[in-house]
């Protein structure tokens, strides 16, 4: 049981639900799916690829960070010796390879070669982040790129992006994640106020960019029946309230930049990825699929009782 819990901690189990939400949202929005039905096989394969890539990134992150964790987080699975470093490295590399295999399978079955290219780019971005970029000024940007590519796994599996404004989704959510990564940079100790303020502005820019997708979608006469029925103002109010609730936690951490407050803000921002994706799907595809995405909060919350998301 101890070994299983150690692996769940190493994999950051709760966060995998956010990776699934991104791929599912990207596929649904690009494919203009409105009626509720069983998802096609390419979507399942894209989700499998995303889960493998995410798990690989988490494991390899701790493999390359083991010396730092021995000093700052000795209770983690690798520095504590609960999982052997060599075993973790083999599992991480194996998961990275499996992600590529699933991406290629998605490309073959969907007929969209771009999925394989996105898989290759995501493999490179994960390796570069974990091995080189994480401790540099480029770290948050590369982390954001990984999230953008994760969105594109789902979008390309559906043959997109097909409209220029659809690029706002991976760009916006990538910026949002880059901001979270910057916000969490010094979460083990006392964070710098300037860094936290900059990170919050980056997150805000991402939220504005992703929200702008719905504006252009409505302007083009697209979206769900709910959006086309003139409910755009209600959607933007919902997006604004959700964004404000996320950033309020950031502000509280900026006022008192202790490790506890920063970690609470980061955990809340990560959990909110699922809700943000669901609200984006609400505008494009309707209530049914939005509820499906919100249901992913259940495994996140259950998983969070077992292991921390950060």
* Mean predicted confidence (pLDDT) in 273-296: 94
pLDDT at 6 over 80: yes
Other C-beta atoms closer than 10 Å to the C-beta of 238 total 15
Return the minimum-mean-pLDDT range out of 60-64, 234-238, 274-278, 305-309.
305-309
* Mean predicted confidence (pLDDT) in 117-135: 93
- Report which of residues 154 and 256 the model is more confident about: 154
Using pLDDT thresholds of 50, 70 and 90, give the confidence band for residue 310: low
pLDDT at 148: 98
pLDDT at 244 over 70: yes
Encode pLDDT of 28-60 as tens digits. 999 987 777 788 999 999 999 999 999 999 999
Other C-beta atoms closer than 10 Å to the C-beta of 234 total 11
- Report which of residues 251 and 35 the model is more confident about: 251
Q: How far apart, in Å, are the Cα atoms of 245 and each of 11, 210, 240, 249?
A: 28, 16, 9, 7
pLDDT at 309: 60
Using pLDDT thresholds of 50, 70 and 90, give the confidence band for residue 245: very high
Q: How far apart, in Å, are the Cα atoms of 53 and each of 32, 103, 151, 196?
A: 26, 10, 12, 28
pLDDT at 1 over 60: no
pLDDT at 187: 66
* Mean predicted confidence (pLDDT) in 109-118: 96
Q: Per CATH, the architecture of 2-306 is what? A: Orthogonal Bundle (1.10)
Burial class of residue 136, CB neighbours in 10 A (0-12, 13-18, 19+): exposed
% of the chain at pLDDT higher than 70: 96
């Amino acid at each position: 049981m101890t070994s299983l819990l150690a692996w769940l901690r190493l994999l950051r189990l709760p966060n995998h639900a956010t990776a699934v939400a991104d791929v599912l949202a990207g596929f649904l929005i690009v494919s203009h799916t409105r009626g509720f039905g069983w998802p096609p096989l390419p979507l399942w394969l894209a989700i499998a690829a995303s889960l493998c890539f995410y798990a690989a990134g988490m494991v390899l992150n701790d493999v390359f960070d083991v010396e730092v964790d021995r000093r700052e987080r000795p209770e983690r699975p690798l520095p504590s010796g609960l999982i052997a470093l060599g075993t973790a490295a083999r599992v991480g590399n194996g998961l990275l390879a499996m992600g590529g295999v699933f991406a290629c399978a998605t490309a073959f079955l969907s007929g969209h070669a771009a999925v394989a290219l996105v898989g290759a780019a995501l493999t490179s971005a994960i390796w570069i982040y974990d091995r080189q970029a994480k401790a540099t000024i480029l770290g948050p940007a590369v982390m954001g790129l990984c999230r953008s590519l994760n969105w594109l796994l789902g979008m390309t599996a559906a043959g997109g992006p097909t409209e220029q404004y659809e690029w706002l989704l991976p760009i916006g959510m990538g910026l949002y994640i880059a901001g979270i990564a910057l916000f969490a940079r010094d979460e083990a100790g006392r964070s710098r106020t300037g860094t936290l303020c900059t990170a919050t502005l980056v997150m805000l820019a991402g939220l504005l960019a992703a929200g702008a997708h719905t504006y252009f979608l409505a302007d083009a006469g697209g979206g769900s029946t709910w959006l086309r029925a003139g409910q755009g103002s209600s959607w933007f109010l919902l997006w604004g309230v959700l964004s404000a609730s996320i950033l309020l936690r950031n502000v509280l951490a900026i006022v008192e930049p202790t490790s506890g407050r920063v970690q609470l803000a980061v955990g809340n921002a990560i959990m909110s990825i699922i809700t943000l994706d669901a609200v984006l799907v609400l505008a494009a595809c309707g209530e049914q699929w939005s509820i499906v995405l919100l249901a992913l909060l259940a495994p996140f919350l259950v998983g969070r009782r077992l292991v921390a998301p950060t």
